[in-house]
A and B are shown apart, each in its own frame.
Chain A
């Protein structure tokens, strides 16, 4: 490419070459790999600079968000992968329990507020992509970002359609977002299965009916919960509130 310098390349790409010179340039361009590379590089440089010299408010906002998370690198013992965390505290693989945090300031009819504060907890033991889906879903679930939970659990269930954990939490998330029919279908499936969520699902169905004023239906569902189920205490409490 000795015959052409950088300024010629710029004139060519910018369309500033007279037609005759341009034809000549193109003829050499086809033969000369180094010249072709220089032309390509000029195009790349202008493309990068054209894009990145523009002010980017989105980038500034993202950088500010990243700064707020920087403390993750300076915490002692707090940043632990889910997998290790659960292994360390010896939670067995089978423990997949939803923890119901419910408050007892009853006597008002906002049953959902009193009994519906459910946290999603998952134990990761396989360390694969499916586990991370559940972990991500749990993060959003616990922030009450239910619309983000549903697609994650959809993906999870597409690979493991029998997962009672995913069905249970998807049922709740769907109900919370107003997709009541879909939510109830999931919860009924959990009730029909045999898992640790069986009676928690029943309780949630009862809770939904209580909240929507269908006391009779709520009581029918509450009656299905046996006295030795983990949901029995709150079921008794809700039943008392309803009466």
Chain B
């Protein structure tokens, strides 16, 4: 499928194009505010969801090389709405039963792309939240070794042997995986 001209929004976010960010707010803030106020939320909830949705898209564009094959508007509005629905569920309120695409005629591609962004970003945020639950030492070891530092260098900097570092890293990772596993059950 060919890339939609609205790909410019994703490129603009990657470059922190302030004019484009302004455009996104001017065009969509009213719609999202209206939707969230209608569905048990506040202005602050709307502002948070809007901001988080833009950051989700930024991450997908940066790390997953997301390419839009549909217009930006339904894609973005669906992400905001889906995230709000998830938030309502988290707050254990009665989730709204309305269909997400009630207000827009949404193509399947927009729907699928939005769902994927929300799902993958929720998962990435869960991984990061579980990472934060690890002890300080574990976080330091994993942070250094996952972001490309040479293991020998890390061991020397921490004053431990290379063998100990490897063992510890493996233990920390195993703990993290068990935390993540527990979230999925």
Contact = CB atoms under 8 A, between A and B. Distances in A.
Interface in B106-143: 123-124, 127-128, 131, 142-143
Contacts of A66: 21, 51, 54-55
A41 B30 contact: no
Interface string B14-40: 101011011101110111010000000
A73 B44 contact: yes
A136 B23 contact: yes
A73 B29 contact: yes
A17 to B, nearest CB: 12
B105 to A, nearest CB: 10
A136 B20 CA distance: 9
A79 B30 contact: yes
A24 to B, nearest CB: 19
A73 B127 contact: no
A136 B55 CA distance: 21
Contact of A65 (B21, B26, B123, B142): B21
Interface string A10-23: 11001010000000
Assign chain A's interface to a size class. Answer: 35 or more
Contacts of A72: 25-26, 29-30, 33, 47
Interface string B58-73: 1100110000000101
Per DSSP, chain B at the interface is helix
A45 B46 contact: no
Contacts of A79: 29-30, 33
A88 interface: no
Listed residue (A52, A84, A135) with the most chain B CB atoms within 10 angstroms of its CB: A52
B16 A41 contact: no
Given A58-B14, A61-B16, A62-B16, A5 B29 contact: no
A84 B143 CA distance: 49
B110 to A, nearest CB: 11
Contacts of A139: 19, 22-23, 26
A58 B54 CA distance: 13
A42 B172 CA distance: 13
B31 to A, nearest CB: 6
Contact of B147 (A16, A50, A81): A50
Contacts of B29: 69, 72-73, 79
Interface stretch (B81-89, B90-98, B152-160, B173-181): B173-181
Nearest to B148: A50
Contact of B128 (A10, A49, A63): A49
A145 interface: yes
A65 B20 CA distance: 10
A45 B58 contact: no
A5 B174 contact: yes
Interface in A69-110: 69-70, 72-74, 79-82, 84
Listed residue (A38, A53, A140) with the most chain B CB atoms within 10 angstroms of its CB: A53
Contacts of A44: 123, 127
B25 A45 contact: no
B161 interface: no
Contacts of B180: 41, 45
Given A7-B170, A129-B71, 4 more contacts: A6-B173, A9-B177, A73-B29, A82-B27
12 contacts: A7-B174, A41-B177, A48-B124, A49-B146, A53-B143, A58-B14, A58-B16, A61-B16, A66-B55, A72-B29, A72-B30, A72-B47
